[in-house]
Amino acid sequence: MEGLERMVGSASTTFEVGCSVRRAAPIVLVLALMNLAASGAAIGQTPPLGDAAHGKVVFQQRCGLCHLAAPDDGDGGQGPSLVGVVGRKAGSSPEFGYTDALKASGRIWTPQALDAFLTAPSTVVPGTAMPMAVPNPKDRADLIAYLKTVK
């Protein structure tokens, strides 16, 4: 209990429902950690293996309006090409004018970095122009599996 109190604070403020922070905080922390583990979003965690064929469908439906990764992926053009994105430094393709935030992020697009970014782009890189998140963990894993195939 002492370790949890150090992590969440030792205040004993009472909520309107009469539950003290001291008693509720460890429960909330445990529930939050369980939710994080279930979502596969833990920092540094490898995203689950995905289905590249379904990832191509996800790409065409969600990403193809702005990005290209293959000739039949969509209209693309507003965003950078994602051909060879896995392993590439963020904001480094000379053919696209990236935001200063993305160029300065220092990120390498590993599967883990892509998973985090696609979960919440503007949270991971504040100031990015990327407006679309992929909230579904399976869709993200499939999309990343597809992006690994386009070189």
The per-residue pLDDT string of the chain (151 residues; one tens digit each, 9 = 90 and over) reads 344 333 334 333 333 334 443 444 444 434 443 444 444 444 455 556 899 999 999 999 999 999 999 877 777 778 999 999 999 999 999 989 999 999 999 999 999 999 999 999 999 999 999 999 999 999 999 999 999 999 9
DSSP annotation string for 43-76: TTPPPPP--HHHHHHHIIIIITTT--SSTTS-S-
- pLDDT given for residue 80 in this prediction: 94
Q: Does pTM surpass 0.75?
A: no
Which distant-in-sequence residues (6+ apart) come within 8 Å of 63 by Cβ?
A: 69, 73, 74, 79, 82, 132, 143
Alpha-carbon distances of 66 from 13, 45, 69, 130, rounded to whole Å = 48, 28, 10, 10
- pLDDT given for residue 46 in this prediction: 59
- pLDDT given for residue 48 in this prediction: 65
Phi/psi at 126 (5° precision): -55, 130
Domain limits, CATH 1.10.760.10, in the chain: 52-149
- pLDDT given for residue 51 in this prediction: 96
- pLDDT given for residue 41 in this prediction: 45
Q: How many CB atoms within 10 Å of residue 62?
A: 18
What CATH number does the domain located at 52-149 have? 1.10.760.10
